């Protein structure tokens, strides 16, 4: 399975050799074709089905590709803004990776966390941990989650985390996030590429947000092509900014600059681990070893011991990971004090007032047409 995932990853990264029509490519291409047929059939069925409507404003934060665009920090930023504006906010998630058998699971009531990452999934748990005063509710049927939030908290501002493909619920604003360096990956549908649906489906979006935007290295050609293909879509750029370095077992919190000159053994089980590694290099850290795991990797006690031994054998100053990885292993680390995680925050670049004005205008439009 690990070898198969690595093969797929190489295609996604655009690292294919001249053997474009290799047996592996043909097999992945065949399944990609079947996947595309399934997507088309699914959308045909949903066009015949009436969407359900929640009592309030619904904004979806989603993407076109499989992971790696930074939806969780973006959801956190938007939820915090809406709460500050006086709205009664709730985050609705499907709880990917969680093992809850409940139709609706309340991860947080905004004050107390009621479900851990194993039950809720790492991303909803992380949102619940960081969002104070904002309930986080998960359900495969986001309408049921939203209805529970409305009945219990009188919610009037709903954020669908990873909601672009959730077609059964009506939304007032669809935001699609795309990594600026590779907005469409290699341009192919799963599993040959990372696309969850065809590019033409971006016509459903109300606005594009290019994440991890760096003018010197972003794929300007791909972005320009998308903007030409969808000229009516507002476009925003954003960055994921390193925020804090946290040592959870000592309660030590430092600025990211603390990492400058530090020898680190780093690891990440996220959609694009090398993004984390590149961040550490930009901060001046020296990754003497870097371990990559699959997205949403479920850590074991043996793996944690192995990572600690690797850190000690390389004489590294600390063991370092992402905040999302930390929540999946916090019960395994014990009293070990040399582990830290890096938090990031989502920041709009240059278009913040325009972004929030767009949301407020959509809200006014929604209230007018009720």
Q: Per-residue pLDDT tens for 330-370?
A: 999 999 999 999 999 999 998 999 999 999 999 998 876 66
Angle CA 358–361–363, to nearest 5: 110
Amino acid 222: pLDDT: 79
Better-predicted residue by pLDDT, 33 or 350 = 33
pLDDT at 19 over 50: no
pTM of the predicted structure, to 2 decimals: 0.93
Q: Is the dihedral of CA 309, 97, 110, 112 positive or negative?
A: negative
Helices 122-130 and 71-84: crossing angle in degrees, nearest 10, is 30
Say if CB 347 and CB 238 are below 8 A apart: yes
H-only helix segments in 48-170: 71-84, 117-120, 122-130, 142-153
The rounded distance, in Å, linking the Cα atoms of 182 and 171 is 27
The rounded distance, in Å, linking the Cα atoms of 364 and 347 is 25
Q: What is the DSSP string of 215-233?
A: TTTS-HHHHHHHHHHSTTS
pLDDT digits (tens, 9 = 90+) for 184-234: 988 999 999 999 999 999 999 999 999 999 876 556 777 888 989 999 999
Amino acid 219: pLDDT: 67
pLDDT-based confidence at residue 7 (cuts at 50, 70, 90)? low
Better-predicted residue by pLDDT, 281 or 19 = 281
347: β partners: 239
Instruction: Tell whether omega for the bond before 191 is within 30 degrees of 0, i.e. cis.
Output: yes
pLDDT at 15 over 70: no
Tokens of 53: 């409507």
Neighbours of 245 (CB within 10 A): 22
Please provide the size of the chain in residues. Answer: 370
pLDDT at 6 over 60: no
pLDDT at 267 over 80: yes
Closest to 345 (Cα-Cα) out of 75, 161, 159: 75
Say if CB 226 and CB 182 are below 8 A apart: no
Average pLDDT over the chain, rounded to an integer: 91
Say if CB 100 and CB 119 are below 8 A apart: yes
Amino acid 224: pLDDT: 85
Amino acid 221: pLDDT: 78
Say if CB 160 and CB 52 are below 8 A apart: no
Amino acid 100: pLDDT: 76
Name which of 20-34, 144-158, 169-183, 254-268 the model is least confident about.
20-34
Q: What domains are there in the chain, each with its CATH number? A: 57-233 (3.40.50.300), 241-345 (3.40.50)
What's the mean pLDDT in 304-311?
98
Say if CB 134 and CB 83 are below 8 A apart: yes
- For the chain, the distance separating the N- and C-terminal CA atoms, rounded to the nearest angstrom, is 50
What contacts 135, CB < 8 A, 6 or more positions away? Answer: 90, 91, 106, 108, 109, 110, 149, 152, 153, 155
Amino acid 243: pLDDT: 98
Q: Give the three-class secondary structure for 362.
A: helix
What contacts 92, CB < 8 A, 6 or more positions away? Answer: 137, 138, 139, 142, 145, 146, 149, 158, 159, 160, 161, 163
What's the mean pLDDT in 68-88?
96
pLDDT-based confidence at residue 18 (cuts at 50, 70, 90)? very low
What's the mean pLDDT in 257-263?
98
pLDDT at 137 over 50: yes
Q: Give the three-class secondary structure for 161.
A: strand
Closest to 355 (Cα-Cα) out of 210, 220, 201, 224: 210
Angle CA 332–335–338, to nearest 5: 95
């Amino acid at each position: 399975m690990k070898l198969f995932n690595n093969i797929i990853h190489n295609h996604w990264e655009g690292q294919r050799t001249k053997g474009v029509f290799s047996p592996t490519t043909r097999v992945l291409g065949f399944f990609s074709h079947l996947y595309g047929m399934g997507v088309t059939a699914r959308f045909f069925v949903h066009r015949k089905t009436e969407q359900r409507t929640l009592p309030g404003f619904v904004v979806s934060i989603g993407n076109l590709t499989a992971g790696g665009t930074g939806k969780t920090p973006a959801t956190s930023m938007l939820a915090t803004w809406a709460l500050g504006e006086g709205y009664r906010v709730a985050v609705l998630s499907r709880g990917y990776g969680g093992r809850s058998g409940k139709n609706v699971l309340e991860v947080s009531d905004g004050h107390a966390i009621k479900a851990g990452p194993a039950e809720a999934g790492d991303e909803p748990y992380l949102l619940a941990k960081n969002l104070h005063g904002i309930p986080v509710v998960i359900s495969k049927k986001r309408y049921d989650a939203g209805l529970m939030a409305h009945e219990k908290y009188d919610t009037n501002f709903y954020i669908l985390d990873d909601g672009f493909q959730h077609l059964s619920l009506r939304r007032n604003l669809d935001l699609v996030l795309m990594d600026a360096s590779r907005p469409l990956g290699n341009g192919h549908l799963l599993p040959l590429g990372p696309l969850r649906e065809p590019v033409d489906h971006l016509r459903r979006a109300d606005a594009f947000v290019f994440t991890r935007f760096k003018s010197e290295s972003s794929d300007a050609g791909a972005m320009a092509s998308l903007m030409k293909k969808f000229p009516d879509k507002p476009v925003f750029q954003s960055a994921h900014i390193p925020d804090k370095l946290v040592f959870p077992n000592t309660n030590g919190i430092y600025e990211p600059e603390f990492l400058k000159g530090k020898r680190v053994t780093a690891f990440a089980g996220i959609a694009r681990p090398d993004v984390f590694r590149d961040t550490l290099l930009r901060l001046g850290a020296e990754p003497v070893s870097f371990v990559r795991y699959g997205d949403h990797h479920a850590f074991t006690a043996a793996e944690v011991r192995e990572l600690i031994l690797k850190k000690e054998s390389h004489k590294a100053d600390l063991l370092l990971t992402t905040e999302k990885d930390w929540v999946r292993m916090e019960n395994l680390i014990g009293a070990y004090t040399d582990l830290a995680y890096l938090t990031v925050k989502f920041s709009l670049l240059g278009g913040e007032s325009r972004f929030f004005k767009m949301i407020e205008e959509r809200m006014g439009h929604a209230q007018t047409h009720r």
